[in-house]
Structure 1
Amino acid sequence: MSPPGHATTFRQDTLRVPDGADLYFQVRGEGTPGMVLCDGLGCDGFAWKYLLPYLARRHRVLRWHYRGHGKSSVPEDRTRIGMAYTCDDMARVMDAAGLEKAVLFGHSMGVQVALEFHRRYARRVQGLVLVCGSYGMPLDTFHDSTLLKRIFPTLRRAVERFPLHTARIVHGALTTELVVQLAIRLEMNPELIARNDLAPYFSHLARMDPVVFVRTLDSLASHTAWDHLEYVDVPTLVVAGEKDRFTPGWLSRKMAERIPASELLTISEGTHTAPLEVPGLVELRVERFLRERLGVESGESAPKVG
């Protein structure tokens, strides 16, 4: 392993999968076990701003973009989007990055991706770190309400019928500072989150094809790994934000209780962006998890909390 502070390996590339989608990925650092970072819906890596370089000091870390997200394209058949393709995509990207096995980190949608990947490719998973996400069917619990589930079919039909008009509306809204500030105050902890840490998320979402977004969300809405949780046989750390409105904290507790011998970190003031709000706390807990459950040598110095 390269000691902290030394230059680390960096590689970025695209991988064309059999149905024609070009998947973007980047690899940083060296060392085992390897790590794979799985994003949330509509994200291209913003949640890993602090954790990625921290992990890359001692590990090979793979970050990649789902179909239609970030720098990844979609195939000519634009129906081939969502959970049905994500696990096979990730297996191919791991091959391209030289990772036979890895610890999977999932944020938001990435929790579903990581759990489903373990179901299909258990031999390739050494551990799970599940951050601010649900095991499935997120529309059923968004804001502790079924409202989004009830209105989503109407929203999807509107987006599918008027994609260009929807894209213009979304771009206009998400590039307005008032909307950004409202989102920060209503959905995140404004005392802990930095505006600049969220800028990449709003920028990416403003550029994203809304049809890809709703089709991916539709695939999440009907997917669940609940039935698989009791069969998770690798060390698992669940991280929850007590004030998370997207995936309420009780979901994380329920998930941790069902996964054998899992560990739970609840961040009392944390929201859906807890890895950005209290990065030092998350890093310390991840380091302890890797050391105690996977036998990974700890870093030379502890990170700052907060």
Structure 2
Amino acid sequence: MSGEPGYFHQDTLRVPDGAELYYQVTGDGEPGAVLCDGLGCDGFAWKYLAPYLSRHHRVLRWHYRGHGRSGIPMDRERIGMLYTCDDLQRVMDAAGMERAVLFGHSMGVQVALEFHRRYARRVQGLVLLCGSYGNPLDTFHDSNVLKKMFPTLRRVVERFPEQSARLIHAALRTELAVQLAITLEMNRERIARNDLAPYFEHLARMDPVVFVRTLDSLAEHSAWDHLLHVDVPTLVVAGERDKFTPGWLSRKMAARIPESELVVIPEGTHTAPLEAPGLVELRVERFLRERLGKPSTPSADGVRILPPAARA
């Protein structure tokens, strides 16, 4: 792997069941970092953190089955958490990363924890951002309404996939969808429209059947029983105003993981890495330095919380 500044490599990996997985590697340096996305995402949450990490670390970004530039397996039933963890192991092999710090945002938190359960020797540390240890439909907006509605939604999507795709794609491509999300779910004073729009653009292109099958796997998965067995340095990052994964979940998770650290982003929501990039970078940098022995760098001395206008 090249150590030149600005190093970039991208490729696809075909796994045994036919799915083609997209991945890219940037930067160089240890410990390496693997970034695991949220559901329906192709990397929008890492807009600021990924290039920051790439200045001193080898950073692996990849797309789940049916997400972003990754394909769908020949057997469309092969969607879910266990396949995701196996895929991650193969992608790390392809990228030449024997061990790494796993970063997870939203769904990526469950992926990182389950991967540690199954492949602990390959995990040097965990950075868990704005996510849950499991069963996210039980706690979405501190309610189980979505959990009750989901079986019906899934049946409709599975039975009428083409019609569902047309309806969903049309709705998500509207400016109204973006503005509603910013107003109702995010911190409007902190999030820039151009930071959130890529999420809707990707979701509008995504196969809705893949989405609901992935969500079904998440809804049934929990790493709660594994938290006590996490034996690597762990940083938990929560948004104070996160409605998708309420802050109490992060506190509960951090309290159960031995010797973990918790940082709560003031006024942060589910997109805290985009709303307060400097604060997240500073805290991650300190964690890597103090808990994983990464040398100090001048970039860790200050905090930048950019207003939306500066990130547009």
Give me the TM-score of the superposition, normalised by structure 2.
0.96
User: What is the CA distance between 1:2 and its match in structure 2?
Assistant: 10
Q: Per the alignment, in what secondary structure is the counterpart of residue 37 of structure 1?
A: strand
| Aligned-partner Cα distance in 1 for 2:163–2:183 | 28
Decide whether the 8 Å contact of 1:2 with 1:8 is kept in 2. Answer: no
Map of 1:120 onto structure 2 = 118
| Aligned-partner Cα distance in 1 for 2:55–2:295 | 12
User: What is the CA distance between 1:174 and its match in structure 2?
Assistant: 0.8
Residue 196 of structure 1 aligns to which amino acid in structure 2? Answer: N
Q: Per the alignment, in what secondary structure is the counterpart of residue 190 of structure 2?
A: coil
Map of 1:143 onto structure 2 = 141
Q: Say how many residue pairs are matched.
A: 304
Decide whether the 8 Å contact of 1:2 with 1:58 is kept in 2. Answer: no
User: What is the CA distance between 1:84 and its match in structure 2?
Assistant: 2.0
Alignment of 1:1-306 (within 5 A): 7-302=5-300, 304-306=303-305
Q: Per the alignment, in what secondary structure is the counterpart of residue 84 of structure 1?
A: helix
Q: Per the alignment, in what secondary structure is the counterpart of residue 262 of structure 2?
A: strand
| Aligned-partner Cα distance in 2 for 1:81–1:25 | 18
Decide whether the 8 Å contact of 1:104 with 1:125 is kept in 2. Answer: yes
Partner deviation per Cα, 1:148-197 (whole Å, 9 max, x = no partner): 00010000000001111111111111111112101110000010000000
Q: Per the alignment, in what secondary structure is the counterpart of residue 301 of structure 1?
A: helix
Specify every segment of 5 or more residues in structure 2 that has no aligned partner in the other structure, as ranges. Answer: 306-312
| Aligned-partner Cα distance in 1 for 2:256–2:152 | 34
| Aligned-partner Cα distance in 2 for 1:102–1:65 | 17
| Aligned-partner Cα distance in 1 for 2:277–2:258 | 26
> What is the alpha-carbon root mean square deviation over aligned residues?
1.3
Specify every segment of 5 or more residues in structure 1 that has no aligned partner in the other structure, as ranges. Answer: none
| Aligned-partner Cα distance in 1 for 2:87–2:34 | 13
| Aligned-partner Cα distance in 2 for 1:214–1:170 | 12
Residue 114 of structure 2 aligns to which amino acid in structure 1? Answer: E
| Aligned-partner Cα distance in 1 for 2:88–2:295 | 27
Partner deviation per Cα, 1:227-254 (whole Å, 9 max, x = no partner): 0000000000000001000000000000
Decide whether the 8 Å contact of 1:2 with 1:31 is kept in 2. Answer: no
| Aligned-partner Cα distance in 2 for 1:298–1:65 | 31
Partner deviation per Cα, 1:19-49 (whole Å, 9 max, x = no partner): 1100000000011111000000000000000
Decide whether the 8 Å contact of 1:116 with 1:225 is kept in 2. Answer: yes
Could you tell which deviates more after superposition, 248-257 or 80-89?
Answer: 80-89
User: What is the CA distance between 1:304 and its match in structure 2?
Assistant: 4.1
* Cα distance change of structure 1 residues 78 and 225 upon mapping to structure 2, 3 Å threshold: same
User: What is the CA distance between 1:203 and its match in structure 2?
Assistant: 0.3
Which 4+ runs in 1 deviate beyond 6 A?
A: none
**Paired-residue identity, %:** 79
Q: Per the alignment, in what secondary structure is the counterpart of residue 263 of structure 2?
A: strand
Partner deviation per Cα, 1:36-66 (whole Å, 9 max, x = no partner): 0000000000000000000000110000000
Residue 23 of structure 1 aligns to which amino acid in structure 2? Answer: L
Residue 24 of structure 2 aligns to which amino acid in structure 1? Answer: Q
Give me the TM-score of the superposition, normalised by structure 1.
0.97
Q: Per the alignment, in what secondary structure is the counterpart of residue 127 of structure 2?
A: strand
